[in-house]
Amino acid sequence: MLKDKRKTYHHGDLRTALINAGLIELEEKGLESLSLRSIAGRVGVSHTAPKNHFDGLRGLLTAIATRGFEMHSQEMQSGVEDQPPGKARLHAACNGYVRFALANPQLFKLMFSRTLRDRSNPDLQRAAWASYSVLRNIAHGLDWDKADASGGPWRTEWMLWSMVHGYAMLLIEGEIKSNEDGTPIFEAAALLPDFDYREEDLASMPPPFEGQKDVGH
Amino acid sequence: MLKDKRKTYHHGDLRTALINAGLIELEEKGLESLSLRSIAGRVGVSHTAPKNHFDGLRGLLTAIATRGFEMHSQEMQSGVEDQPPGKARLHAACNGYVRFALANPQLFKLMFSRTLRDRSNPDLQRAAWASYSVLRNIAHGLDWDKADASGGPWRTEWMLWSMVHGYAMLLIEGEIKSNEDGTPIFEAAALLPDFDYREEDLASMPPPFEGQKDVGH
DNA sequence: CAAAAAAATTTACACTGGAAATATGAAGGG
DNA sequence: CCCTTCATATTTCCAGTGTAAATTTTTTTG
């Protein structure tokens, strides 16, 4: 009765236990020195036990990254829903993007590391796309000063994404200095150009990266 | 006479040989699977030989990153000098920033990895500052639509840096898709807001991150 | 030419992730 | 109830990794 795992299996729900332990170890030890053995050890199983649930370390990292994208989506979405449609939501989404990165720096870096995770994993792709869509859906209504000029509709969302992602990265890596409590000196939204905002339909938007229709590169 | 190393030392200039070999191995094997032993092996020395010239793997990576920032500066500077002062130079610098990152993705990631290099190294700091200064000096003349509003003078340069850095990162990691030849679909400059440009003096600008005066955090 | 210092090697150690064979325990069928 | 089957976890082993200490080799210095 001490250990009440309600699972029917051998030892319990090792899969999610490993992901949870991985999330903790990740921020504790850092992405670089994270080890499969220490994650397994934290759960109390041998270092080869994860093999039954994940395709090696890479597979576990992929699952952790997937969880990360789900958290990322939620962090942005929660801030967005409080705000009225328009510029306020855009600002909330951008601030949420950066807030998540600063709260989970190692996880954030893992999520965007091409080599450490398995990008062909469908769950990961779904979660990553959902996360990006929060930003994308809000960005679509924007009418940007140069929007009619050179490029297709991707230009505005890539510009937004680049800005907010770069700001998060530079803050995490300590290149841009932040307040003593870790919060950025400028909110992400303070770096944005002063967009005009207009509502439009979302129909004719192509995907911004290899996701959805384009799944599997 | 076959091996004409004009150095007076024991085996030659092992220090720069290791850096050069490291640069090659880095892009060949990738930042994650780079190994001190394989770098040393490529030069033809034992894996503990680097100890005499660098403070462990971290020291070698720091030296490689330093070299990277020097290359980065040059890549931006070369593009800038051809252009007339003003917006053209800004665009050239931004394009150079991203061009370098795409040409040396692993090196670029190393340069901005807080944990892999030793940020307290003075040579690294100097080189990183010089690289950033190219962008910074050009950014200073910009009068941005919200420049008078919330923040100090850092806001414009951080916005520029974030945008261009994020774009580079997302391209490198394959999140934003590029042309078949690897070049980006949009030049970095095409993502910039339409700045007004005015000349001003550079006197009252505080440093944008822990560099220069602030050396050593 | 000898002493001192620098540079590189050898050896050993504590780690890592992965593969293969083995043990454990739960589920399903007679 | 027992027996088989199969998923799960462990044990053992292996090729790597970076680092430290002692040792050898070479260069520089006096």
Q: Please report which confidence band the pLDDT of residue B156 belongs to, taking 50, 70 and 90 as the band edges.
A: confident
Separation in Å, CA A163 to CA A19, A97, B64, B170? 30, 11, 27, 10
Q: What is the DSSP letter of A184?
A: B
Residue type, A129: W
Bridge partners (DSSP) of residue B174 are: none
Could you say which nucleotides of strand C lie within 7 A of any protein CB atom? Answer: 6-11, 15-21, 24-27
Residue B144's pLDDT is what? 59
pLDDT of residue B198: 56
Q: Can you tell me the mean pLDDT for B88-114? A: 97
Alpha carbon distance B66, B25 (integer Å) = 16
Give CA–CA dist B57/B36, Å, rounded. Answer: 6
* Cβ neighbours of residue B164 closer than 8 Å, sequence gap 6 or more: A162, A166, B94, B97, B98, B135, B188
Question: How far are the Cα atoms of A26, A195, B179 from residue A61, in angstroms, in the given order?
Answer: 10, 37, 29
Lowest-confidence pick of A108-117, B145-154, B165-174, B182-191: B145-154
Q: What is the pLDDT of residue B4?
A: 42
Judging contacts by C-beta atoms under 8 Å, the chain A residues touching residue B172 are 114
* B39-CA/D16-C1' distance, Å: 14
* Segment holding A76, helix H or strand E: helix A56-81
Q: Which residues of chain A are at the B interface, by a Cβ-Cβ cutoff of 8 Å?
A: 30-32, 112-116, 119, 144-146, 150-151, 154-155, 158-159, 161-170, 172-177, 185-186, 190-191, 193-194, 208-210
CA dist A209 and A158 (Å) reads 10
- Assess whether pLDDT exceeds 50 at residue B41: yes
Q: Is the pLDDT of residue B45 over 70?
A: yes
Q: Give the DSSP H or E segment for A197.
A: strand A196-197
Q: Say what the pLDDT of residue B215 is.
A: 32
Q: Average pLDDT, stretch B26-49?
A: 97
Which residues make beta-bridge pairs with B143? B196
> How high is the mean pLDDT in each 10-residue block of chain A (217 residues)?
42 91 98 98 96 97 98 95 88 97 98 97 97 90 55 81 98 95 93 69 46 37
Report which of residues 23-52 in chain B place their beta carbon less than 7 angstroms from any atom of strand D.
34-38, 47-48, 51
CA angle, A132 then A137 then A143, to 5°: 120
Beta strands A142-143 and B142-143, pairing class: unpaired
Q: Residue A189: list chain B partners with CB under 8 A.
A: none
Contacts of B43 (CB under 8 A, 6+ apart): B14, B17, B18, B21
Residue A191 CA to residue B15 CA, distance in Å, equals: 42
In Å, what is the separation between the CA of A73 and the C1' of C26?
38
Q: How far apart are CA B96 and CA B188, in angstroms?
A: 9
